[in-house]
């Protein structure tokens, strides 16, 4: 029995020494310093999402002949993927809408006259031109399986010496740039 008691005391002492060395053997853990980017906390009061109508087009990486298109009205955004043929139709519709907006054809004198320009087989993108007096207001619509959005795309004053601007003309330029980029980077 004495032998068992001595064995238990020796085992307890060894266990105590092992525990003591493990606890005191650990050094202080240091964490790497955070960078300014990691420490940055945005001020929610000053952050505002983009407002107003917007348009984006880009060739889809890895899929030849496909383009990603996004149209927003300042609140709702719709996106879709389109083929090169559809983008060429979009470009033709946008170009026709621009030419029509600059013409004196179908102009309302007291009430605006709205004309829809679209391809008879491709209904994914169309432009409404509302004309009254010297003013032509443009509205671009994009329809995808995700939904439909209509964005105000600018105003053209016919006969004005100032170069017309607005989302619709920006869209036309972006479509042409995306087509050019896609043709330069074939897979």
> What class, spelled out in words, does domain 54-184 have in CATH?
alpha beta
Q: How far apart are the C-alpha atoms of 181 and 127, rounded to whole Å?
A: 25
- Return the pLDDT at 150: 94
Confidence of residue 35 (pLDDT cuts 50, 70, 90): low
- Return the pLDDT at 139: 94
10 Å CB burial of residue 51 (0-12, 13-18, 19+) is exposed
* SS3 of residue 127 by DSSP: strand
Does residue 93 contact residue 101 with C-beta atoms inside 8 Å? no
10 Å CB burial of residue 144 (0-12, 13-18, 19+) is middle
- Return the pLDDT at 32: 61
pLDDT in tens, 132-182: 999 999 999 999 998 999 999 989 888 877 766 778 788 889 999 998 888
- Return the pLDDT at 107: 87
Q: How far apart are the C-alpha atoms of 89 and 168, rounded to whole Å?
A: 15
Mean pLDDT value of segment 14-24: 55
Cα→Cα distances 31→25, 27, 34, 87, Å? 18, 13, 9, 52
Domain boundaries in the chain? 54-184
pLDDT in tens, 88-126: 999 999 999 999 998 888 888 889 999 999 999 999 999
Q: pTM of the prediction?
A: 0.69
What is the chain's mean pLDDT, rounded? Answer: 80
């Amino acid at each position: 029995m004495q032998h068992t008691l001595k064995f238990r005391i020796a085992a307890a002492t060894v266990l105590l020494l092992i525990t003591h060395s493990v606890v005191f053997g650990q050094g202080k853990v240091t964490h790497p310093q955070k960078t300014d980017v990691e420490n940055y906390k945005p001020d929610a009061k000053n952050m505002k999402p983009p407002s107003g109508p917007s348009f984006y087009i880009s060739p889809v990486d890895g899929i030849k002949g496909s383009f990603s298109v996004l149209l927003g009205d300042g609140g709702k955004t719709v996106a879709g993927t389109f083929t090169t043929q559809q983008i060429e139709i979009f470009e033709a519709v946008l170009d026709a809408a621009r030419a029509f907006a600059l013409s004196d054809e179908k102009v309302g004198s007291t009430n605006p006259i709205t004309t829809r320009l679209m391809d008879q087989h491709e209904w994914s993108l169309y432009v409404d031109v509302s004309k009254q007096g010297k003013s032509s207001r443009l509205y671009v619509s994009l329809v995808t399986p995700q939904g439909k959005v209509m964005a105000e795309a600018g105003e053209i004053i016919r006969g004005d010496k100032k170069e017309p601007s607005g989302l619709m003309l920006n869209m036309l330029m972006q479509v042409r740039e995306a087509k050019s980029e896609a043709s330069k980077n074939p897979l």
